[in-house]
Amino acid sequence: MRRLVLIIMFISMPLFAAEEAPPVARVVENIVERVPDQTVVPQYPRKARRDRIEGEVQVCFEINRKGRPRRVAVRNSSNRVFERPSILAVRESTFRPVLHGEPVPQIKSCRTFIFSLEPVAVDDE
């Protein structure tokens, strides 16, 4: 019984340590012609954090007149576990809308997210 308790404590230690300073994804490449209003950073998947998996995802998309991303798709990915959080983050992000009368070019925009277990400083903007 004591051995079982020690094994459970040993297995759960990394999870408790990770929750003190949870790893987050960060935007490293932002190829966007339109001005962002709100940039959402994806959540680090719990399973990837538990299994100590790191990676990066490049997501490309278009921005409509109202400043919402559309046609969001993964262009490159080092691990599929990071794709869904990255797509959701891009879909929740917003950009400055186009004023009436301005032409709207069809520009493909891309963002690269890096998922790293090393703590990073995140701006609260």
The number of distinct structural domains making up the chain is: 1
Q: Does some domain include residue 6?
A: no
pLDDT class for 51, splitting at 50, 70, 90? very high
Q: Does some domain include residue 121?
A: no
User: pLDDT tens digit string along 27-40?
Assistant: 766 666 678 889 99
Q: Does some domain include residue 125?
A: no
Q: Does some domain include residue 124?
A: no
Q: Does some domain include residue 9?
A: no
Q: What is the pLDDT of residue 125?
A: 54
| DSSP symbols for the chain | -HHHHHHHHHHHHHHHHHHHS---EEEEEEE-SSPEEE-PPPPPPHHHHHTT--EEEEEEEEE-TTS-EEEEEEEEES-GGGHHHHHHHHHH-EEPPPPTTS------EEEEEEE-SS-------
pTM over 0.85: no
Q: Does some domain include residue 123?
A: no
Q: What is the CATH number of the domain that holds 31?
A: 3.30.2420.10
Q: Does some domain include residue 51?
A: yes
Instruction: State the residue range of the domain holding 49.
Output: 23-115
